[in-house]
Structure 1
Amino acid sequence: MTMGIMVGGDLGGSAIGVAPGAKWVAAKIFNDAGESWDSIIHEAFQCILDPDGDPLTDDTPDVVNNSWGIDIPGVCFTEFQPDIDMLKTAGIAVVFSAGNSGPSGNTDLSPGNNTNGYAVGAVDPSMTIANFSSRGPSACDGSIFPEVVAPGVNIRSAYLTTGGLFSDSYAFGSGTSFAAPHVAGAMALLVDAFPGISPSELERVLEGTALDIGDVCPDNAYGYGLIDPLRAFDTLQNNEPRVSVIPCSHDFGIKGFGKTFSLKTITVSNLGAGPLSISDVSLVGQAPEDFQIQNDACSGQALSPGASCSFDLEYAPFTGGSSSALAVVQSDDPSNPSFEISLSGGAIELVSPNGGESIPSGTVRQIQWLAPPEAVDFNLRYSCDGGANWSVIGRNVTGTTYDWQVPVYGVDMNQCLVRVTAFDASGTKLGRDESDGFFTIEAVRITVTSPNGGESLQSGGTHPIQWITPPGGSEFTLRYSCDSGVTWSMIAKRVSGTSFDWSVPVFSENQHDCIIRVTAFNSLGVKLGRDESDNPFSIEVVRVVAPNGGEAITGGGQYTVTWVTNGTVSPVAKVVIRYSTDGGATWQTAGKVSGNPGSFLWNVPAITSTTVKVKVALKDATNTVIGRDRSDSDFEIK
């Protein structure tokens, strides 16, 4: 019924199909219960080669419509592929209904999905794919399925006459079984107009002239589109070329910035009836510099009907975020001289820190990146060993910035990287990017400025300890040592600010190897680092003022020895003054004074020497030395 009435017409002439003048013959392959066997179908294909069994009569059909299929969607059965090859070799075009297992993808049926099959899907009067129409791709070779579409919803067709009760009986039906005969009829028209046209030429010209509906480019719902028999006729009549490009759009997806994506091969075919001249393939649009044409075997080529060429497209973005461009194929196709291929891609680009920066330990540093809109969730990590090991900064981060609490290191870390990994709303990983080069996380920097070496502090006095705080430093612990750092004594804990008035301890001897240590902590109590005085300072109990070195004193005369006393462990009862004429190797008493007057009139011996020193010793009531000092350098008696 569908093989004849919708291809040609009924015997009464009251119904007109696609090819009303066509002659037709039917081969019944299903019984009245809708059952059949492979052997019967093989016999029917054999019958088609010579319907009347007489090789002397010319009754071989030009087109065979098959409104049937093996109703197991998404599976490739090749039982009848040799039969189809046989018919096509004999010059018979073969058309199959795509099947009624839609609307999901991978619902294609055999034999229509065979490599040599030609499947037809169904559209409604609004040219929208029918919900039931089977979709591809082909389970046999992954190619586009169906090849084309035709009307297949609410089609008026011949119906049972009930034994002649109704002379003109019609009904409305839907299905791809009603769509396939439209294509078979169109092929019959073209064969009639162009005798000798081959099955492959028929298929090609119908694809090349189909009205592209649905998604741009051939797709697995509409195939190449809705057949246009008149345009197919004009193309053959005028020997016109028809350019076809597969795919005619491509999304390279999302990866890390600076990464080269896999090449995508684009195939350009001539689906027309005359030679197709391709002058150029070029890139235009929003970001053509992010895409590259490689291995171009199309520019400057002339393709005969049915021939094809190819070129590769590469996506290597220069910037993060989304990119798009058009690859344009320039040809002499009169209906589409500039065929545009839509290209898109996205890159995750880490902007900062991206290499070369120096970031202080313990500070807050903003990480910045670029991403296309579909990237909505990000994981951040860092490495300070050149990427060998990675630590988490943050998970499920939104936006394109993140305030990173930089870790604290005691030494400079010079091989640091940050990595950002992007995910879409479903949690699918899209891509990642890392710092282009190493950056440095600087060791924590706290600097003691006073006392920092060379100062003389007063025993029992007050002296400000001062320091420069590191970023994030909020509390400080202070210690001192007067044995060059061998042992340490606490000054204060949890000090805030950048200075502290230190009550210098009282000593029984002058201290010359003293240093200060300041240790910094952040608000969470995490140690940030420490610093010490660069050089030792002194804490003085008593200091000789004169003679203190460099003076020239007359022998046999008098000289006032003076000194300054700071805090002592007990009251001074007396002061003993001594002198040395051999640089301090031996000492002689110059005199004693009660109390601590701060001066003594010395009767200088009548000698000459250039290596003279004076020593002052403080003693308490128990005759214990509680402080002493001597001239810093030699003076002269002359």
Structure 2
Amino acid sequence: MNTVKPWQSFCTGMVAILVFCCCGGTQAAVIDAELETELEAHVPGDELQVIVSLTDKVDHRLFEVLDRRHRDTRLFKALKEKSAVTQAEHKTFLKKRGGHHIHELLMINGIAVTARIDVIRELATHTGVESIRADKVLPAPAVSYGGPAKPQWNLSAVHAQDLWTLNHAGTGVVVANMDTGVDPNHPDLAGKWRGGNNSWYDPHGEHATPFDSSGHGTQTMGIMVGGDVSGTPIGVAPGANWIAAKLYNDAGMARFSDIHLAFQWLLDPDGNPVTLDAPDVVNASWGLVGAAGQCITEFSADIAALKAAGIAVVFAAGDNGAAPMTSMSPANDPQGFASGAVDVLLGIAPFSSRGPSACDGSVFPKMVAPGVNINTADLSSGGLPLYTNVSGTSYAAPHTAGVMALLIDAFPNATVGELESALTQSAQDLGVAGPDNSYGHGLVDALAAYQILLGGTGGSPPSIGSTPVISAVQGAPYVYAVQASDPTGSAITFSLDVSPAGMKINATTGEIAWTPDYAQEGIIAVTVRAANARGLAVTQAFNVTVARTNVPPVATNDSYSVIKGGALTVAAGGVLSNDSDQHRDLLTSVLVQEPSNGSLKLNANGSFNYVPKAGFAGTDRFTYRAHDGALYSNDATVTLTVSANKPPVARNDYVLAPYRDKTAYQARVISVLDNDFDPDGSLNPASVEIVMKPSKGGAVVVNANGTVSYMPKQDFRGTEVFQYQMTDNLGAYSNRANVWVNVY
């Protein structure tokens, strides 16, 4: 993935702080925190684009393809049937309430819609609605040009030509990319487009046939299937055909719903379950930029569905290196298969993102491939050269996808798990010995993977025999020891495909440990995976119901100061500002003990007004409790320090004034209060008075704002002085201050 501008979004951003609203409990559990922030910033009649996920899901495992030669469309049919049954009432509601641009998102059993704020909030209360989140916008990856390099070094590095000599160049295999499009007129790609209305998808409706204004998608496709029209081969699997989904519009933007729709199209391009026209391999040289080191599972279900249907998916690891923990979603998804980038010397590219995975802590990337100074196809229009050199993990991933196409040509019955396992087991180890978080399992090696598959992996996946623990309590430890066995006795590695924040699994023992926090309640989805050394895996999906445990809020002591004879007014929040509630419930303040030396009005929102008794100076106190609607906090003491009023301080001023002759004269305005101050209150500008007139016959007038207008006596030159004093807001007088005026 190439380095691009920070993640852009229409109406929403990557807000990391959870915001809890005052809406009903059902809404709070359903509406995503980031979306809630956006909703609160709009009025009810405003419209936003959102994605609605429903609770009732299709279990992909029931339709997993175990032999790619017998791929079918049972999963697609099941997804359509589930959508028809569960989405109908919600779509009817949305249409009646003015919702528009409604799209079915089959893979997640969801709906993309543009709707008013009030409609979104009402939808959140409907039974069967799992979550509502913003339909965010993702910018297209930018082209990253490289420098000159030895021709074909990248193809030699992955041993692609070795499989060509064995008559496995990808013939009969269909690859797809999810990118900026593809130039259908490029001589190395034109004859390889599968053609027909099931071979091109533009969710934006801008182009009915293949098109690419950026060049990025053309470049990645060139690495996968490009030929040798120039006299030099550029593609890993030149015998394969291609189809493409244009994720981004011509302005370079894609909404999350566009990406969901593209995944959906790839599962069954013509939308007809009777025909089998899905691709064999998908390359995804894109990611959620601006979110390095985060685990964002927006597209987990889409990836899982493609893989269950026998479609391999390869992601670019991201260009967020060289720091550790810079993995990018969805490449770091437990279902993802990510490629980092190496240079001609097989050194890790500085930009290549490093692990471990932010999602499950596993090694990231899965492996590496050439990604520095790669010769590939470029746009054929506009007088540009037909070929260019590029760098980025965007260009490493198509090498891995191309090698998968070669292996599918050789072993059409191999499952996605077997392909991935063969690649990781056969990878050329680079860097430190064994898998690491720079090179992953190592460099892609087509011939070595071929040799592993030639020996036959076969076998059955592990089985999970334990029953999930399906209940938990907020603040209490949750433990589930997953028990799995493999028919061959192979070691089993455990991971979590779907899990709430804070849940961890021991990869060796299978023990899941978690302590639900006070923001986690209700039904929480979990999917655990058990995989053997050959990459064959089984998953177990279940829901954990988390019971709410209310605990009292915590009130913290406060202190305030007020001047003797004055009054103290504290705004909303007030005494509650430093109090807390683990459930973030709305708190109110309740008075326990009145102050002894003054009058108090304490409001429920924490604001209060306090007036000390006349003549009182010293320390006064009152106590209160915070209430969360059910439980009271501890008693908190508010200390009120009543101090005697200190007089204001007036300081001398030194100013210049021009000579006054017989002509009209503009008075010199002197801001005498500018250097004065009050140690415990504020000055009263209206109180300024002249206590000694100018010493040389000049004239002064006090203005309403506390300034003084001065005019010297006609024909006077020299220094003149006058005095003033003022009071503070409580009427205490200052000292007398001199104002020295030098008339020049």
What TM-score comes out, normalization by structure 2 length?
A: 0.32
What TM-score comes out, normalization by structure 1 length?
A: 0.38
In our comparison, the structure showing a higher alpha carbon Rg is 1
Higher RCO by CA contacts (8 Å cutoff, separation 6 or greater): 2
Higher strand share: 1
